[in-house]
Amino acid sequence: MSDEKRPSASARQPLPDHPVRLALLDLLAETGTVTSTQAAARLGHSSGLCSFHLRQLAKHGLVEEAPHRGGRQRPWRLRWEASPESGQQPPAAFDEIARGLEDESYRHWQEHRHLEPAEWRHEESFSAVVHLTPEETAEVAEAIRLLLAGYRERDEQHSARPAGTRAVAAVTRLFPLPAANTGDTAHTARS
């Protein structure tokens, strides 16, 4: 889809709170791309229903058709996620939706993890408070992106996936804590 056909941020309308649309956004965040047939199989809805809601999400500017080699299958992807070469940053509304989907996916996993095979019930979670400059924060973020980039080829090249792989959410949030809460007021930049 060309940039000319994409709605501008000002043309976007608020997304209705619809469970199928939210499930589709969550699935796209998990898998990268999905066809309506694949979405139907994963979500337990009809292909026609998934196709309709994918088109509605496209009208809202949240998804777009992914490049494909023709044929009837139309893969879709999150609009902001798939065009890093354009230099566009995700609009704030997308960040908010993405954070909500991350949180909802995590809550859903926690509620249903007892249904998973034993080897998939464990999570690898950690948090740390570190003292960084803005430049160092950007460096840490880039290092994490580079680490994960080695696994991104598996998104589209299913043959590159070792046996036993599953989609795993990798969520990293680097944000400054208010100086008053950390006792670091003496080390903040002075103007």
Give CA–CA dist 34/156, Å, rounded: 10
Mean pLDDT of 8-17: 46
pLDDT of 136 > 90? The answer is yes
pLDDT of 82 > 50? The answer is no
Greater confidence, 23 or 186?
23
pLDDT of 44 > 70? The answer is yes
In three-state form (DSSP H/G/I as H, E/B as E, the rest C), the secondary structure along 80-118 is: CCCCHHHCCCCCHHHHHHHHHHHHHHHHHHHHHHHHCCH
Structural contact between residues 103 and 25, judged by C-beta atoms closer than 8 angstroms: no
Q: Taking the alpha carbons of 117, 121, 122, 124 in that order, is the dihedral positive or negative?
A: positive
- DSSP helix/strand/coil, 77: strand
Structural contact between residues 119 and 104, judged by C-beta atoms closer than 8 angstroms: no
Q: Which of 45-49, 58-62, 184-188 has the highest mean pLDDT?
A: 45-49
pLDDT at residue number 189: 46
Which of 32-36, 42-46, 55-59, 183-187 has the least mean pLDDT?
A: 183-187
Greater confidence, 40 or 98?
40
Give CA–CA dist 56/16, Å, rounded: 10
pLDDT at residue number 24: 87
pLDDT at residue number 6: 39
**What is the DSSP-derived secondary structure letter of residue 35?**
-
The pLDDT confidence band at residue 181, using thresholds 50, 70 and 90, is low
pLDDT at residue number 188: 47
pLDDT of 13 > 60? The answer is no
Q: Which of 46-55, 147-156, 163-172 has the highest mean pLDDT?
A: 46-55
> Among candidates 118, 131, 123, 127, which has minimal Cα distance to 168?
123
pLDDT at residue number 10: 37
